[in-house]
Structure 1
Amino acid sequence: MKLWTLISSGLGAGYAPKAPGTFGSLVGLALGCALLSLGHLPLLAGIVIATALGLYAVGKLPEANADPKWVVIDEIAGQMIPLLALTGVSLRGVAVAFVLFRLFDILKPGPVAWADQRADEYGIMGDDIIAGLMAWLVILALHLVSLL
């Protein structure tokens, strides 16, 4: 297996027989929680690194314009973003971050759908980054009204 395929597949998580995007999100959640336990700066660094690696790796794939189901580095990077809104790792906060990200990723509202229409690495990575940012904003709003 080539290095770019390994990175793009989330170290193989994308080859799950069912729901590879959910498996990729779970990898992102685990990695994000580990980084968040070290602080927000390590988590932010992890998001930047995963996004940069994803853009480069997906751009190296011959089938990048088709958004193959096994490519889940985008879910890994996107899933870590809403964790930035948490003050720390808690079951409730992590569950909300996971559910919101998956909802925005699956339903593809507004700008998520716009990014998803691009047939390149920026579209593949972009829709999940935007979904992660939307989930982050909802969690921030929940903090403001003291629901989380």
Structure 2
Amino acid sequence: MSVSHLIATVMGVGHLRPASGTWGSLAALPMAYGIIILAGWPGLVIAAVVVFAAGYWATVEQTRGRENHDPSEIVVDEVVGQWVALLPVAYGAGMMGIAPERLWPGWVAAFLLFRLFDIAKPWLVGWADRRDDAMGVMLDDVIAGLFAAVGVVAFAALFHLVPM
């Protein structure tokens, strides 16, 4: 098994069925938690950038000479997108000086919103997906992650601003 295959499939997670993208997103959660514990939200940003670059390379390698430029076993893009969606949670925990798990509703919202945008592929997510190349594979999930991050912030604001 090649290094590019291990990166693209996130150590084989992409071979889990059904819904390999959801499995990739789920795998991203404990990884993000570990990164946040070790290096805070800046570490999550750095990890997302590094894994984006590695994922792009691995996707190029894994799709070279294939008609399908976004095979379902490639889930490194879901990891990066999920980490982007989690950035507001990581930042919030860091700014408040609390353990990231205390913001568990944000983790749930980030996961669900990211999956929603990744599956539905609205607007810019769909545009990136239609590129039909390795950059599109990575970008559609980053954009879905950005949309989900905005949703996480909106839900947090609504929760904290509306009296219960």
TM-score greater than 0.5 by the shorter chain: yes
Partner in structure 2 of residue 127 of structure 1: 140
The answer to whether residue 154 in structure 2 is matched with residue 141 in structure 1 is yes
Larger radius of gyration, structure 1 or 2?
2
Separation in structure 1 between the aligned mates of residue 107 and residue 67 of structure 2, nearest angstrom: 30
The one-letter amino acid of 2:13's match is A
The answer to whether residue 2 in structure 2 is matched with residue 9 in structure 1 is no
Partner in structure 1 of residue 115 of structure 2: 102
Q: How many residues align?
A: 148
Deviates more, 1:81-90 or 1:120-129: 81-90
Higher helix share: 2
1:82 to 59, 80, 85: 85
What are the Cα deviations for residues 54-98 of structure 1, in whole angstroms up to 9, with x where unaligned?
011111122375310000000011001111101232321111110
Residues 53 and 64 from structure 1, CA distance in 2 versus in 1: closer, same or farther, beyond 3 angstroms? farther
The one-letter amino acid of 2:35's match is L
Taking structure 2 as the reference length, the TM-score comes to 0.84
What CA RMSD, in Å, does the superposition of the two structures yield over aligned residues? 1.6
Taking structure 1 as the reference length, the TM-score comes to 0.93
What are the Cα deviations for residues 22-41 of structure 1, in whole angstroms up to 9, with x where unaligned?
11001112211221223111
Partner in structure 2 of residue 53 of structure 1: 54
* Structure 1 portions without partners, runs of 5+: none
